[in-house]
Amino acid sequence: MSETLHGIAVSGGIAIGRAELVRSLRRDVPHYLIDAAAVDAEVQRLRDARSAVAQRLQHMRDAAPHDLPADVAAVFDVHIMLLQDEVSAQGVEAWVRERRYNAEWALASHLEEVVRQFDEIPDDYLRERKADMEQVAEHMLRWLQGQSRRSRRAQAAAAPGEGAAPLALVARDLSPADTLQFRRGLFAGFVTDAGGKTSHTAIVARSLGIPAVVGTRRASEVVHAGEWLIIDGDAGLVIANPTPAELSDYRFRQRQHQIERERLARLKNTPAITRDGRHITLLANIERPADTAAAVDVGAVGVGLLRSEFLFMNRQGKLPGEEEQYAAYRRAVEGMQGMPVTIRTADIGADKPLEAAHPAAASAAALRRLNPALGLRAIRWSLSEPDIFLTQVRAILRAAAHGAVNLLLPMLTHVSEICQALALIARAHEQLDARGIARGPVRIGAMIEVPAAALMVRQFAQHVDFLSIGTNDLVQYTLAVDRTDEDVAHLFDPLHPAVLRLIAGVIAEGVAQGKPVSLCGEIAGDAAMTRLLLGLGLRHFSMHPSRLLAVKQEVLDADTTQLSEWAKEVLASDEPAALLAAG
DSSP 528-577: HHHHHHHHTT--EEEE-GGGHHHHHHHHHH--HHHHHHHHHHHHH-S-HH
User: Of 253, 213, 220, which is closest to residue 236 (Cα–Cα)?
Assistant: 213
pLDDT at 21 over 90: no
| CB of 540 closer than 8 Å to CB of 465 | no
Catalytic residue flag (residue 520) = yes
**E strand or H helix at 281, and its extent?**
strand 281-286
> What mean pLDDT do residues 254-279 have?
93
Rounded to 5°, the CA angle 435-440-446 comes to 115
| CB of 346 closer than 8 Å to CB of 74 | no
Instruction: Decide which of 217 and 364 is more confident.
Output: 217
> What mean pLDDT do residues 409-428 have?
98
Catalytic residue chosen out of the listed positions 110, 139, 200, 544 = 200
Q: What tens digit of pLDDT does each residue of 93-144 get?
A: 999 999 888 998 899 888 878 877 776 665 555 555 677 788 888 889 888 8
Q: With bands split at pLDDT 50, 70 and 90, how would you rate the model's confidence at 341?
A: very high
| pTM as predicted | 0.70
Catalytic residue flag (residue 419) = no
User: Of 277, 281, 343, 282, which is closest to residue 310 (Cα–Cα)?
Assistant: 343
Catalytic residue chosen out of the listed positions 110, 520, 540, 544 = 520
- Coil, helix or strand at residue 358: coil
The CA distance from 218 to 425, in Å, is 53
For residue 31, the tally of other CB atoms under 10 A from its CB is: 10
The CA distance from 86 to 208, in Å, is 35
Instruction: Decide which of 182 and 45 is more confident.
Output: 45
The CA distance from 150 to 248, in Å, is 28
Instruction: Decide which of 354 and 169 is more confident.
Output: 169
Q: Percent of the chain beyond pLDDT 70?
A: 84
pLDDT at 443 over 80: yes
| CB of 300 closer than 8 Å to CB of 283 | yes
Convert 175-201 to b/e letters by CB count within 10 Å (16 or more is b): bbbbbbbbbeebbbbbbbbbbbbbbbb
The CA distances from residue 534 to 9, 70, 473, in Å, are 24, 26, 21
User: Of 155, 153, 159, which is closest to residue 228 (Cα–Cα)?
Assistant: 159
Q: What tens digit of pLDDT does each residue of 25-66 get?
A: 565 677 788 899 999 999 999 999 999 999 888 887 777 655
The CA distance from 536 to 180, in Å, is 36
